[in-house]
């Protein structure tokens, strides 16, 4: 699946939330036993995902008509918060995450927002480099709510 192909992104329907959740769980599995504290994605339930999606929405990313990525977003005061950005390992490096984020940027604009935020752990240096490359800037650093490690929040102003 590494050859060039068009990435398509669309808003997930309510019926597709189990697929959004399955992709997220599969993509985050590589962090099991690696992150301390463990990623909340690995203990989140489908009902948790439904509740968060009700505050905004979710997107699915497709390559060759196969769903290989998902991300969720929530409307918050002054910005749209994007999280659980997930791409299956077989499809990484194909622009799926970038396409999903761009779609969420467009959705945020449509909803009247001018900023999108997201967060990652400081130890995930490749994530930090990637988000900065997309124009995100660090707006805060704070201890992880469960203790251990630092969470970095980043924001991107939308034009």
What pTM value is reported for the model? 0.92
| Mean pLDDT value across residues 42-51 | 90
Which of the four pLDDT bands, split at 50, 70 and 90, describes residue 33?
confident
User: Which CATH number belongs to the domain containing residue 29 in this structure?
Assistant: 3.40.630.30
Q: In terms of residue numbers, what domain contains 87?
A: 7-114
Query: Is 20 inside a domain boundary?
Result: yes
Residue 1: pLDDT above 60?
no
Is pLDDT at 4 greater than 80 in this prediction? no
Look at residue 27 in the predicted model and tell me its pLDDT.
Answer: 94
Number of independent structural domains in the chain: 1
Q: How far apart are the first and last CA of the chain?
A: 33
pLDDT tens digits, residue range 99-117?
A: 999 999 999 999 999 999 9
């Amino acid at each position: 699946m590494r050859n060039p192909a068009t990435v398509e992104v669309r808003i997930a329907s309510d019926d597709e939330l189990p697929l959004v959740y399955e992709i997220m769980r599969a993509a985050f599995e590589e962090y099991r036993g690696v992150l301390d504290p463990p990623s909340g994605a690995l203990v989140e339930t489908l009902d948790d995902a439904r509740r968060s999606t009700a505050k905004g929405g979710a997107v699915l990313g497709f390559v060759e008509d196969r769903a290989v990525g998902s991300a969720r977003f929530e409307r918050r005061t002054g910005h749209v918060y994007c999280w659980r950005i997930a791409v299956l390992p077989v499809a990484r490096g194909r622009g799926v995450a970038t396409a999903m984020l761009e779609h969420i940027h467009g959705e945020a604009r449509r909803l009247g927002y001018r900023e999108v935020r997201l967060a990652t752990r400081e130890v995930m240096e490749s994530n930090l480099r990637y988000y900065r490359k997309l124009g995100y800037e660090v707006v805060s650093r704070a201890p992880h709510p469960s203790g251990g490690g630092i969470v970095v929040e980043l924001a991107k102003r939308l034009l």
